[in-house]
Structure 1
Amino acid sequence: MSEPLLRGLAAGDPPSATGPVTGSADKVADVLIVGGGLVGGTLACALAEKGVSVVVIDGEDPEALLAAGYDGRCSAIALACQRLLATIGLWDLLGGESQPILDIRVVDGGSPLFLHYAQAEAQGPMGYMVENRLLRQAILTRLGRLPAATLLAPARMTALRRDLDGVSATLSDGQTVRARLVVGADGRRSQVRESAGIGIRTLGYGQTAIVLTVEHERPHRGCAVEHFLPAGPFAILPMPGNRSSLVWTERSDLVSGLLALPAERFQAELERRFGDHLGWVRPVGPRFSYPLTLQAANRYVDRRLALVGDAAHGMHPVAGQGMNYGLRDVAVLAERLVVAQRLGLDPGAPALLAEYEALRRPDNLLMLAITDALVRLFSNDIAPVALARRLGIGAVERMGPLKRLFMRHAMGTLKLGPPPPRLMRGVPL
């Protein structure tokens, strides 16, 4: 590699081109981020770009992430969140390896009624599909170019202490990281959240998502398809070339049997749900499965602590917004931390954290409620309910203003309530 992945913040720390940072010397920063994935890594880039010193602790080996090949896992990035990634210098590092979402088609079972969001109405792409590994690689590259960022990986936190003056994290190798704020970006089973005693509310759906990539005979022309079936949504999301990423929702008690099917029988089940609108179709790469639940943290902040992304909220993929709402957290928190740094204020001040929670928690709770309602409305085949929702889909298709409102919400550009954060408008901090 041409640039070091890991940089030391303390004076005299030599940069390391490969492998983890080791040794017992303290690391000191304004912000400690636990979890260097798509959300935590993006937050680190947004802060370090503006001179806010950041230490990121992540359990994955950065060398393995840089060397990883295609594994089929992708994310849908709404237009406003793409602006965020572009503004902090991550989007260009993808090297054009993204697929614009030009159209979205919503279909309910075998109904002839449908809802179609067209590129012409959106006046451009509504979002983009990006491979997770490419975005992780872009984050690693960007962090390696930012002197204010230190990545400690692979590393494991064994203790976290917080007091009135700051936070201190101890790693399994004996290192200590000291900061003024800790951000939990460590997923649904957040160690940071649990250390603060922040409870969660969880709701199960009895559904599991099978995620895989397929290639097909005919081009998708940038069209994403959300096909609602009785077991749950079957989403076909366009990827570069004649490829699509599938999020195939099934009853949890059936998934292990489906995944264990021989290739030819799995192919038959896939074709039955996929249809023939893109010609022949066949799986490429591995299959993944994830149980689907709703999860909401009881609060997002504590003394010198903030939660972002799945550590704060986890939603059903029915609306394809999980990653985007994590990036909304990033946009709001980064803006406040950068302003605090410029004014010489404490990044862990209670007032700053309270403002972050006040701006993000209601928005996330609303989206959790919307996704929950969609799952309950569409994941059944009760005749009166099915008729009502199909008529509703057809009505929205014919009501231009309402349709455009839904479209702008999906793109993250709907202007309701307070102004969107600067990064989601493509405005630098």
Structure 2
Amino acid sequence: MDEQSDVIVVGGGLAGIAAAVCLARAGLETLHLAPPSPPDRRTSALMMPSVDFLVAQGLISAPEDIGHALTAIRIIDATGRLIRAPETLFDSTEIGMNAFGWNFANTVLLEQFQKAAPTTGLTTVDGVVNTLRREDGLGVVTLSSGATYRAKLVVGADGKKSLIRAASAIGTHEHQFEEAALVCDLELSRPIGGTSVEFHYPHGPFTLVPAGGRKANLVWIDEEPVLRRVQAGGPEALIQALHQKSQRLFGNISLLSPSVVFPLSSLSVDVAGKDGVALVGEAAHAFPPIGAQGLNLGLRDVSDLVDAVTRSDRRQPDWAREASQTYAELRADDLARTGGFVDTLFRSLLTEMIPSQTARASGLWALKLLPPLRRKAFALGMGERKLL
């Protein structure tokens, strides 16, 4: 006989486990299908609304015990273009906060989320999902092992190539960029403190994110062949390129981890949920690592999903359809606003057109000189639901 739960969550990433734990803690019998995967060596810069959500849900306790505070953002226009933007510093004290957010290692977050799992109401199974179908008002999920599971609500947290999304016939809009991102961990001669430093180059930013002491996490966006060529040259060639890109502002640089290059793309969906299916994380949205929005947006997905489910009357046989519709409505504005913000920002960094250069430079001058506009920019970048 097939096993049945209230909810099935498919996907073993941070958004998936956060959804499974939060739904189980909300009182739903939850099955988490999480295929084994290699450790995620990346980091996530989470803004304070996301950190507050994690603390409120019991997913983490004290952020200072596991992360590094992000107290300022420094933007340096290194494009060499005809019209350049001013160097700009955003400080969290301007909005009365000690930090904009915290930078966490993804492996540490995963460990914390796993520790937060309730002892009852949540079952985790390692397995790869092969199919999803609806039958008698239930989502029926079949694994490659042949095992079958049923639930009223199915949550797809299975990434950009989501099987749950495809099986639910939810349309997508995708774009593949020519750029890629190179990430690795560094040690600097001169520490950056709590300041995230962004050098804006013609093909994307070169960003150093605080990782404690003299450590920093690098996210370097450039044309993919350029990054592959530098990486193929070995550690010495990479360090030489890093010195050039950082303009040696922070002295000598050494590598603390191997570098990884991954292509960049964007993805959006027509709806985030329907017919008893809800999409969270990269199953619902993906874009270049600009403005620290990826996991922040995914955690807002989880927050709204828990809200939609707890609003529904689970005594009714079709509560999951109602919850998925409510979830889609709750997510629509945020997904459109954040997706548009990141896409516009990223494309503005790449364009060579004089009018666009002028607009971008003028925008940064306005942010530099006009406090009310700066506060709105802070609110948007931090994912505030109501802009200041």
Cα offset, 1:52, TM superposition: 1.1
Query: What are the residue-to-residue correspondences of 1:295-334 with 2, within 5 Å?
Result: 295-334=267-306
- Which residue is equivalent to 2:56? 87
Q: Which deviates more, 408-417 or 37-46?
A: 408-417
35, 39, 46: which is aligned to 1:59? 35
Query: What are the residue-to-residue correspondences of 1:89-168 with 2, within 5 Å?
Result: 89-92=58-61, 96-109=65-78, 113-122=86-95, 123-143=97-117, 145-153=118-126, 155-168=127-140
Deviation digits for residues 64-92 of structure 1 (CA, Å, limit 9, x no counterpart)? x7xx6xx7410111110111111111112
- Which residue is equivalent to 2:345? 374
CA contact (8 A) 1:94 1:134 kept: no
Q: In structure 2, what is the Cα distance between the partners aligned to 1:196 and 1:106?
A: 42
Q: In structure 1, what is the Cα distance between the partners aligned to 2:280 and 2:202?
A: 33
Query: What are the residue-to-residue correspondences of 1:20-99 with 2, within 5 Å?
Result: 26-60=2-36, 72-92=41-61, 96-99=65-68
CA contact (8 A) 2:184 2:255 kept: yes
Letter in 2 for 1:126: F
Deviation digits for residues 184-241 of structure 1 (CA, Å, limit 9, x no counterpart)? 0000000111112223111122110111111112222210112210011111111122
CA gap of 1:347–1:104, structure 2 versus 1, over 3 A, is farther
- Which residue is equivalent to 1:21? none
- Which residue is equivalent to 1:340? 312
Q: In structure 2, what is the Cα distance between the partners aligned to 1:267 and 1:167?
A: 51
CA gap of 1:344–1:95, structure 2 versus 1, over 3 A, is farther
Letter in 2 for 1:120: T
RMSD: 2.2
The alignment status of 1:353 with 2:324, answered yes or no, reads yes
Cα offset, 1:95, TM superposition: 7.8
Deviation digits for residues 131-182 of structure 1 (CA, Å, limit 9, x no counterpart)? 0111111222222x431111102x1122222134211212222322111110
CA gap of 1:192–1:357, structure 2 versus 1, over 3 A, is same
For residue 91 of structure 1, give the secondary structure of its aligned residue in structure 2: coil
Cα offset, 1:388, TM superposition: 4.1
CA contact (8 A) 1:337 1:347 kept: no
Query: Any gaps of 5 or more consecutive residues in structure 1?
Result: 1-24, 418-429
Query: Any gaps of 5 or more consecutive residues in structure 2?
Result: none
CA gap of 1:347–1:188, structure 2 versus 1, over 3 A, is farther
Q: In structure 1, what is the Cα distance between the partners aligned to 2:45 and 2:319?
A: 32
Cα offset, 1:314, TM superposition: 0.8
Q: In structure 1, what is the Cα distance between the partners aligned to 2:280 and 2:318?
A: 15
Q: In structure 2, what is the Cα distance between the partners aligned to 1:297 and 1:392?
A: 29
Q: In structure 2, what is the Cα distance between the partners aligned to 1:222 and 1:167?
A: 46
For residue 259 of structure 2, give the secondary structure of its aligned residue in structure 1: strand
CA contact (8 A) 1:49 1:146 kept: no
CA contact (8 A) 1:52 1:338 kept: no
Letter in 1 for 2:172: I
CA gap of 1:352–1:280, structure 2 versus 1, over 3 A, is same
Letter in 1 for 2:115: T
Letter in 1 for 2:72: D
CA contact (8 A) 1:94 1:138 kept: no
Cα offset, 1:346, TM superposition: 5.0
Cα offset, 1:414, TM superposition: 5.2
Query: What are the residue-to-residue correspondences of 1:253-264 with 2, within 5 Å?
Result: 253-264=225-236
- Which residue is equivalent to 1:423? none
Deviation digits for residues 319-344 of structure 1 (CA, Å, limit 9, x no counterpart)? 11011111111100111212336x63
For residue 36 of structure 2, give the secondary structure of its aligned residue in structure 1: coil
- Which residue is equivalent to 1:365? 336
With the length of structure 2 as denominator, give the TM-score of the two structures: 0.92
Q: In structure 2, what is the Cα distance between the partners aligned to 1:243 and 1:347?
A: 51
Cα offset, 1:369, TM superposition: 1.6
CA contact (8 A) 1:79 1:413 kept: no
Deviation digits for residues 22-49 of structure 1 (CA, Å, limit 9, x no counterpart)? xxx6432110000021101111111111
Q: In structure 1, what is the Cα distance between the partners aligned to 2:266 and 2:23?
A: 29
For residue 319 of structure 1, give the secondary structure of its aligned residue in structure 2: coil
Q: In structure 2, what is the Cα distance between the partners aligned to 1:274 and 1:283?
A: 14
Q: In structure 2, what is the Cα distance between the partners aligned to 1:186 and 1:382?
A: 38
For residue 145 of structure 2, give the secondary structure of its aligned residue in structure 1: coil
Letter in 1 for 2:101: G
CA contact (8 A) 2:28 2:121 kept: yes
For residue 146 of structure 2, give the secondary structure of its aligned residue in structure 1: coil
Cα offset, 1:279, TM superposition: 2.2
Q: In structure 1, what is the Cα distance between the partners aligned to 2:58 and 2:336?
A: 30
191, 202, 207: which is aligned to 1:230? 202
